Amino acid sequence: MFAFDIARWFTVVLLTPVWWSMALLLIALLGDLVPAWRGPVLRLFDRLEGKHPESTRRINHVPDRRAA
């Protein structure tokens, strides 16, 4: 059913970190550009890094970058 040869398995295994890093880069870009996404993206990255959630609560209150 899923009869991959060895070259296809190597391709899948070697490209997995590339797609994972591109997805994280896209999420980080969305968190930077869309203020509503900033909190959830920061919590996701804090969770991936194993940080305590208190640091994210403090960062969520950063004002937008729009000029007054």
Distance (Å, rounded) from C-alpha 11 to C-alpha 28? 26
Q: Say how many C-beta atoms besides its own lie within 10 A of residue 42's C-beta.
A: 20
Quick one: average pLDDT of 20-24? Answer: 94
Where are any strands of DSSP class E within the chain? none
**Per-residue pLDDT at 22 exceeds 80:** yes
Are 47 and 30 spatial neighbours (Cβ–Cβ below 8 Å)? no
CA distance 40 to 54: 14
Has this prediction a pTM greater than 0.85? no
pLDDT digits 0-9 by tens, 26-68:
999 999 999 899 989 988 988 888 876 665 555 555 556 665 5
Question: What are the sequence ranges of the domains in the chain?
Answer: 35-60
Q: In this structure, are residues 29 and 12 in contact, taking their beta carbons and an 8 Å threshold?
A: no
Could you tell me the two tokens for 19? 């797609």
